[in-house]
Copies of this chain bind each other. A is one copy, B any other.
């Protein structure tokens, strides 16, 4: 699952490239094993065996380095994770994906890394844009591909954009992960998917009032879907 399959120059050739790789991997390692305030440029340089100036020459701030590090990791790890399975059952497919997301967030190293990324994104809007572009946008694209199929199959409301659909599935998990408002497990992933699919069902009689307006608000839809 490396960046190359046959010649494998996994150990970069030029000195510059070696320094760059060492920095990225040192950043990943430190973010995984230390509280984030201790993941300093100085510590990264030391761990990487690299001069501080080399870091600042490539990355204007710590956040950029971290984003690059995560992108580097994803590039090397995401082979085989080319997308979302398409069994024809959107709920099943997304349940699988969200479950694996939940599982990943339970890995301390990845959890810490993502939190660090969020910190940087929150602190500096430029880094936020970078995170969005390099980390989330690819994920959204992956989802979008699956949504396209679902939309043509009539499984989801065609009027809802990709980002909105993505949010419907991911935002609750993200929210619960970040705020720790409750257990973040497979059951929760299942429930999120169930409710999201429910929300996205093509509007047969979708009154804008939804659950709201009518006091005679009867919900005509019958099958509540599976319980997690």
Interface residues of A (CB under 8 A from B): 1, 35-37, 77-78, 80-81, 87-96, 99-100, 103-104, 107, 110, 115-116, 118-119, 121-125, 128-129, 131-132, 136, 140, 150, 153-160, 163-164, 166-168, 170-172, 174-176, 178-182, 186, 190-191, 193-228
Asked whether, in the complex, the Cβ of B174 is within 8 Å of the Cβ of A203, the reply is no
> Which of B172, B180, B215 is A89 in contact with, Cβ under 8 Å?
B215
Which residues does chain B contribute within 8 Å of A164, judged by CB atoms?
Answer: 172, 182, 191, 195
Chain B residues, Cβ within 8 Å of A222: 96, 99, 186, 203-207
Kindly identify which residue among B180, B207, B214, B228 contacts A77, using a CB–CB cutoff of 8 Å. Answer: B228
Q: Within the assembled complex, what's the spacing in Å between the Cα atoms of A103 and B223?
A: 9
Q: Is the CB of A214 within 8 A of B172?
A: no
Q: Are B107 and A226 in contact (CB under 8 A)?
A: yes
* Contact across chains for B118 and A209 when beta carbons are under 8 A apart: no
Of B99, B118, B170, B219, the residue contacting A157 (CB under 8 A) is B219
* Interface pair A100/B224, CB less than 8 Å apart: yes
Report B-chain residues with C-beta under 8 Å of the C-beta of A90.
Answer: 210-212, 214
Is the pair B209, A213 in contact by a Cβ cutoff of 8 Å? no
A222 to B, closest residue via Cβ: B205
Question: 16 A-B residue contacts at CB 8 Å?
Answer: A92-B221, A99-B223, A99-B224, A100-B227, A103-B224, A104-B227, A118-B122, A118-B178, A132-B179, A132-B181, A154-B216, A194-B212, A198-B206, A203-B220, A204-B221, A216-B223
